[in-house]
Chains A and B, each alone.
Chain A
Amino acid sequence: MSDHVDGPRQIGDPSADLTDLFAFISPADPNRTVLAANVFPSAGTQAMFSNAIDHAIVARRLTIAGTGEKTQFKPSDPELRFTFRFDVLERATQGKRPLQRGTCTVPGGQAIRFVVDDENGSTSADGTYRVFAGLRSDPFYLAWIVAEMKKFPNLLQHDNVLTFLIEFDTRRVLDPAKGSLFGVIAETIPIPKPGGFIGHDPPRIDWVGRPEQTNMRLNNNGMEGTDDVRDLWNQQTPFAISEELMPLFRKRMVDSLKNWDMRDGKEDWTPAALAANANMFLDDFMTIDVTKPTSDTSHLEIEKSTLAGRPYQTGGGRTVDSDVIDILLTWMVNHDREFLQGGSTGATKPGTTRFPYLAAPNAELQNIAFSVDLAAPPDRVWALIGGFGGQWHPLVASIKLTGTGVGQLRTIETIDGKQLIERLDAMDNARRSYRYTSIAGIPATDYTGVLDVKPKGSGSSVEWRVQYMPGGQPDIIVKTISSTLLKTGLDSLKPRFGVPQ
């Protein structure tokens, strides 16, 4: 997944784990460039930045040193480094997130202080720079079971990430008259203790250039029996991969791209084109031309055009809403013969056209689940509870069905006079399972439930679980209603069917 959880070292502290890098021309002002990176996959709703890590975005001017099968992007000095460093937390006011401040140091050494989660960000005195850091909705979406190339709903739905972002005046900071093509990376580096490392910098934890360098290209899960080289890659110096290790990475990249090419059973890449593509990907930085427009479809256009031996047309880069996985899969699997659209066409929330461009964070999805083991075989239990209109629950006074099959509604009157309306979304009698959505009666949104019966030993196991986003009411109300409903219903099955001894 992009760069989410891309090695054992990141799992130790997920707040060090870079997930994505973005580089685009501001949709609000074409004279300004935006560089942003995310850390902490599945950050939840409370996550804070580590105070022990330098979070950096680094840009270097590029020249095109070769095209076609000799494609090469050559970085030049000096690097332009934007470093975000975060403080420890300040005491929270009642019910709010603790306050965290940070500092962004820009090329030339100017330091800009900011407050985490402040959507207005902080602007330097002369207006050149504007910075933001805080919790946002994860704009990345992956809608494939990649190993099987099977479409799937977005696997990162409702996820949040921690974003650090800098927007700046393109002309003043990058001086595009000297060359407008840039390579960009983001990296996380532990902050050494005084005297901790003598004579060298501490090893970086993670870095990211183009999406999916580690999780899909270097660690291709379709290639069984290969070593995980992600940590080795993450410890390389961006823009200067070890010459000694380059043959290892090149072989892995070529093997991996061959594997991707054959995922649809067709060979779309010639060996020479594939080798050139592998070399291009090993120059791992996000390319952006800051004098040309970026769009949701311009990602990889600079690389593709250069490999084809023609001038590029767009600014490349990567926008917040760019469908990078489908763009990448299409390129690797069929060489852009036919667009591969995954099971979702967008992230949980789209980005915005205003600073800070990434959408506000998602609320936390709530889960409630109960199960009961019964002595009766699954078919007998399913015969009682498997009907969407079945009246077996002790808290239900009556059920009225409207319509038939998937989409039908059940209107439930509870014994204490409440009304619940639910819609059947899926019924699978073979697997003894149905799924429904609450339409009315529960003060929550996206409230879905699943009831199923599975065999267990000589008896069965019944599980009932619901998932929802908290609505306007305090969550405890929904939680209490749902828990009571589920638990009372399942407990009522014990005397009917007995429990295993």
Chain B
Amino acid sequence: MIAEPALATGPVQATDGVIAAINLRSTLAQSWNRFWQAPLRAGIAEGLIEQEQLNAQFLGDLDAYDRLEQLAGHLVRLDPESARTALIEAQVAASTHRFAFARDCLARATHRGCPALAAQRLAMSIDQACGVSLEVLLEQRWGHARETGRLEDWVPLGSLLVDLGEFDAAERAYCRALDAYRDVSPFAVAWVCFLLGVLWGERAPRPQHARAARWYAKAIEDLPGYVKARVHLAEIEAAEGRCSEARALLLPVLASADPEVSWRLCDVSMAQGRPAEAQALCEAARSGFERLLARHPLAFADHAAEFYAGSGNDARRAFELTAIDLANRPTLRAFEKAHAAAIQAGEALEAASILAAARQRWGSTPAFLQSPLAAAQPHPEPGHAD
């Protein structure tokens, strides 16, 4: 393992995160106006997709996905036969993890002559999200990163390396991304810091919480409204017994549409001896997840499953959701989660079946050797998570 690099994030200052968040929301409203005025004008819908994705990813405005579907639906009504519409449909579908439909749309877009590079990049993202052809992808990702040297290409390479279990190489790719960055948007910088936090806090076989916490804190420093970074850091703080710090991280973003905030705050409230508050927050999280699942089941199945496996206290629902996620994208991580959920739900046969399928699909990869599935027993006792 390489030594931990300094929390260096490129040679230029980034725009203050509060200003950047205000500006994103401000420009979004205007972009929608322009879209409704001239929906077929090139660039408007494409820009809106980027802005809404930033809005959802960083500011926790998950209604963005509804608006994106409305956007795609409107274009389908107005211009159903164009390559552009099909490509946008594919982008929107991929953003809510409807990968099979996204592939269909992408095939239509390609058939109709959409730009090859745009189609290739989206196809790569979908393959990566679904755990398909990762070795081929790795070669392509390296090629793009070396060719352009841009943050936008180093980051997906880093994420792919994480999926392949090459954590030190992934960290180096993320740090190359930060070093390559010459622009002033704090979103990109905060994003990479967050991914470094996830790498060391969740994905590495032996999590290093202090190391992860520093990256999450850096992401929040760059972008104070970064909901997911606050949630993840709060989780670490709470696990370390620093519940007040965890609460202070979560309260400012409680109004966001992300039910994970209520869920984590529920855990903190419980640890602080506030059961009534915890109960209310748990209900808020449950209804929040169910509302999202009703509209975008594939996008939120894995997160909701984690909730139900924890404070949501419904192991069967958790298993149902992990099974949906696994069917949608059979990544090694999805297998791990589904297997754990099956065991927790007392579904020993299902767990064994998932394990067998995971071994068949991933057993020959180096990543599998680092996975908890490598040591899992084919027929564990019901009711015990591995």
Contacts and interface: CB of A to CB of B under 8 A. Distances in A.
Which of B12, B16, B28, B30 is the most central at the interface, judged by chain A CB atoms within 10 Å of its CB?
Answer: B30
Contacts of B34: 42, 155, 159
B184 A205 contact: yes
A48 B22 contact: yes
Contacts of A463: 74, 77
A42 B30 contact: yes
A74 B27 CA distance: 39
Which of A47, A53, A371 is the most central at the interface, judged by chain B CB atoms within 10 Å of its CB?
Answer: A47
B11 A192 contact: yes
A160 B26 CA distance: 10
B14 A52 contact: yes
Given A50-B23, A155-B38, A365-B33, 10 more contacts: A44-B30, A46-B25, A47-B26, A47-B27, A49-B19, A50-B20, A193-B13, A205-B184, A369-B74, A452-B77
B40 to A, nearest CB: 10
B112 interface: no
Contacts of B10: 193, 196
B380 interface: no
Contacts of A454: 77-78
Given A5-B43, A47-B22, A371 B13 contact: no
12 contacts: A43-B23, A44-B27, A44-B29, A50-B23, A52-B12, A52-B14, A89-B16, A158-B33, A190-B184, A192-B12, A197-B11, A467-B37
A interface, by DSSP: helix, strand, loop or mixed?
loop
Nearest to B9: A193
A364 interface: yes
B13 A11 contact: no
Interface in A191-205: 191-193, 196-197, 202-203, 205
A49 B30 CA distance: 17
Interface in A18-48: 40, 42-48
Interface residues of B, number: 40
Given A13-B183, A53-B184, A192-B12, A48 B19 contact: yes
Interface string A1-16: 0000100010111111
Contacts of B77: 371, 452, 454, 456, 461, 463
A155 to B, nearest CB: 6
Nearest to B26: A44
Which of B10, B25, B73, B77 is the most central at the interface, judged by chain A CB atoms within 10 Å of its CB?
Answer: B77
B300 interface: no
A51 interface: yes
Nearest to A191: B13
Nearest to B36: A367
Interface string A318-349: 00000000000000000000000000000000
